[in-house]
């Protein structure tokens, strides 16, 4: 079942098009990451899906509810949780009081609020600080309280907008770990970021956005689609007989850098042994064989060019 279904979603501010014709789906229980540079439309997309701003054109459904139907917007808000880029907690209230207040807004019972507040604050190692005002908290601690606030009503779908931006590495890691824990619990997560390493660690699939959606797939498949499979074979000496032996096997591409033979291959598991055997038969002395993986950063930069 798809938790999010988007078809041609567009948002314009006057003559400026912030989001242009997005079409994608997010399955229930999936972590979906939206990658893009600043100003690409990531936050605008989240705000539309959370019913905070209206769409200009296109259709979108959240758990079967229609974004365009005013009667459905309240139902959508009840089943989602949002961690925005600006947390916006009540600074004079304690962590416990903030969460209790938002639990009341979501019509959680007193027992539900008590149980969930204790669970989340203990999970995030903030229980001992539950009675301190938010103004005393670091940015990372506030971010954790913001995540707890988004979860207080036990939503099925969570939106994270740059959840680790400007955090120290330790705080960022703890939030990533918490997101993965939520995935294990079956939550669906929509994740905005321009942190490529974070996206690769956390997301099942990634969409690359630059006003338009340029690509959607798993990180591994995005890399393969852009670069294909490439094998590097380093030999003691690249001779003409060795190169001719490689050419006879009809590689997708072939280049040489010093003593490294870079071969484009459709199926490395099946074809690599053939290339190795051919090089050895042509008198080549192989020093090592490795698969060349450009990585998500190089793939992302190639796609948004």
Taking only the tens place, the pLDDT of each residue in 231-273 is 899 999 999 999 999 999 999 888 898 899 989 888 888 999 9
Question: Within 10 Å of residue 260's Cβ, how many Cβ atoms?
Answer: 16
Distance CA 24, CA 216 (A): 8
Per-residue pLDDT tens over the stretch 104-126: 999 999 999 999 999 999 988 89
Task: Supply 68's token pair.
Answer: 């365009």
In the structure, what pLDDT confidence band is assigned to residue 45 with cuts at 50, 70 and 90? very high
Q: Is the pLDDT of residue 165 over 80?
A: no
- What is the percent of the chain with per-residue pLDDT over 70, rounded to a whole number? 100
Under 8 Å between Cβ of 197 and 206: no
pTM value is: 0.82
Structure confidence by residue, pLDDT tens digits, 266-300: 888 899 999 999 999 999 999 999 887 777 888 88
Predicted confidence at residue 93, as pLDDT, reads 95
* pLDDT value, residue 193: 87
What's the farthest any 2 CA atoms get from each other in the chain? 79
pLDDT band at 225 (very low <50, low <70, confident <90, very high): confident
Q: Is the pLDDT of residue 13 over 80?
A: yes
**Contact of 117 with 103, CB cutoff 8 Å:** yes
Q: For helices 268-281 and 240-248, give the axis angle rounded to 10 degrees.
A: 140
pLDDT at 200: 86
- Ordered structural domains, the chain, with CATH: 2-217 (3.40.50.300), 229-293 (3.30.70.100)
CB 166 within 8 A of CB 178: no
> CA 263 to CA 275: how far, in whole Å?
9
């Amino acid at each position: 079942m798809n938790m999010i279904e988007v078809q041609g979603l567009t948002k314009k501010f006057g003559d400026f098009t912030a989001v242009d014709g997005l079409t994608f789906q997010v399955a229930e229980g999936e972590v979906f990451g939206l990658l893009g540079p600043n100003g690409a439309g990531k936050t605008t997309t989240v705000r539309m899906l959370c019913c905070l701003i209206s769409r200009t054109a296109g259709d979108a459904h959240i758990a079967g509810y229609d974004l365009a139907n005013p009667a459905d917007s309240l139902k959508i808000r009840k089943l989602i949780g949002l961690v925005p880029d600006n947390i916006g907690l009540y600074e004079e209230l304690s962590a416990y009081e903030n969460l209790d207040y938002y639990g009341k807004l979501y019509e959680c019972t007193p027992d539900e609020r008590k149980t969930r507040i204790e669970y989340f604050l203990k999970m995030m190692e903030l229980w001992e600080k539950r009675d301190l005002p938010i103004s005393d908290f670091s940015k990372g601690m506030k971010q954790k309280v913001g995540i707890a606030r988004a979860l207080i009503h036990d939503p099925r779908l969570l939106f994270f907008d740059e959840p680790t931006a400007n955090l120290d590495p330790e705080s960022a890691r703890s939030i990533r770990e918490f997101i993965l824990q939520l995935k294990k619990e079956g939550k669906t997560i929509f994740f905005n970021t321009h942190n490529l390493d974070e996206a690769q660690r956390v997301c099942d699939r990634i969409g690359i956005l630059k006003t338009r959606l340029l690509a959607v797939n798993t990180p591994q498949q995005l890399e393969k689609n852009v670069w294909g499979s490439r094998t590097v074979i380093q030999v003691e000496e690249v001779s003409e007989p060795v190169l001719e032996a490689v050419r006879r096997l009809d590689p997708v591409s072939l280049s040489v850098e010093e003593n490294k033979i870079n071969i484009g291959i459709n199926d490395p598991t099946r074809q690599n042994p053939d290339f190795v055997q051919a090089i050895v038969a042509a008198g080549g002395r192989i020093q090592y064989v490795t698969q060349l993986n450009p990585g998500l950063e190089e793939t992302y930069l190639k796609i948004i060019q």
